Amino acid sequence: MSKQEFTITVYTENQVGLLNRIAIIFSRRKINIESMNTSPSEVEGIHRFTIVVNETEEVIKKLARQIEKQVEVLKAYYNTGDEIVWQELALYKVSTDEIAEKVKVERLLREYGARAVAIRKDYTIFETTGHREETDRLVKFLEPLGLIEFVRSARVAIIKASEGFHEKLRQFERQEPGEELVENEFLGQNEEIFTM
């Protein structure tokens, strides 16, 4: 099994220290986190971590189980790139003079899907949202023009097949959660699984 990019989505309680608990699951195994984002989720009071890691599926599965084992974690999912819709946001600061002199700004905005979020006498800040290649393209373009500052956010992702967490949470709140919560990946794969 070769390494590939996986996006792990974790639904958690909002608790101090949980970020560390989750982060050390990776660092203990010397696995580098490509990006990590924490934010509210569709359910009030439930937080959502989005973690990007390059690993084999076998390792990712074990990581997801270790994450889910944490007391304050409700659920961990992992997905490949084609199972999610994802975006990253990037900000670029350039000299206003430089841009005004050398570039047709409207072309820049159109071609790179960029927006100017601040325009001042001395500098201008552009923003783009998209996949890594898209935000990188603008870096390449702006570098010769003296890119002063660049920053890119962690990935945020929506799982295409997910029906959200509201119903799940109701299940979790019950003393005896239903079977569907187990989401056992062995189920329905008897042929594959019951042979070595």
Which position among 2, 32, 71, 191 is part of the footprint of another protein (CB under 8 A)?
Answer: 71
**In 10 A of CB 119, how many CB atoms?**
13
Distance CA 151, CA 91 (A): 5
Does 124 bind another protein (CB under 8 A)? Our answer is no
Does 184 bind another protein (CB under 8 A)? Our answer is yes
Report in angstroms how near the CB of residue 191 gets to another protein at its nearest: 12
Count of residues interacting with another protein (CB under 8 A): 34
Residues 28-47 binding another protein (CB under 8 A) are 28
Ramachandran bin of 188, using left for φ above 0, alpha for ψ from -120 to 50, beta for the remaining angles: left
Ramachandran bin of 40, using left for φ above 0, alpha for ψ from -120 to 50, beta for the remaining angles: beta
Instruction: Give the binding range for another protein (CB under 8 A) out of 18-26, 81-89, 121-129, 147-155.
Output: 18-26
Instruction: Give the binding range for another protein (CB under 8 A) out of 1-9, 85-93, 105-113, 169-177.
Output: 169-177
Helix (H) / strand (E) element for 59: namely helix 57-69
Does 69 bind another protein (CB under 8 A)? Our answer is yes
Give backbone dihedrals phi and psi of 96, rounded to 5 degrees, phi first.
-65, -40
Closest to 126 in 3D by CA, of 114, 111, 108: 114
Report in angstroms how near the CB of residue 47 gets to another protein at its nearest: 11
40: its two tokens: 């509210």
Does 111 bind another protein (CB under 8 A)? Our answer is no
Longest dimension (CA), the chain: 69
Rg (the chain; Cα; Å): 21
Report in angstroms how near the CB of residue 176 gets to another protein at its nearest: 8
Which position among 62, 132, 137, 152 is part of the footprint of another protein (CB under 8 A)?
Answer: 62
Which position among 34, 68, 98, 127 is part of the footprint of another protein (CB under 8 A)?
Answer: 68
Rounded alpha-carbon distances, angstroms, from residue 161 to 35, 134, 139, 164? 22, 25, 33, 9
Residue ranges binding another protein (CB under 8 A): 12-13, 16-17, 20-21, 24, 28, 61-62, 65-66, 68-69, 71-74, 169, 172-173, 175, 177, 179, 181-182, 184, 186-187, 190, 193-196
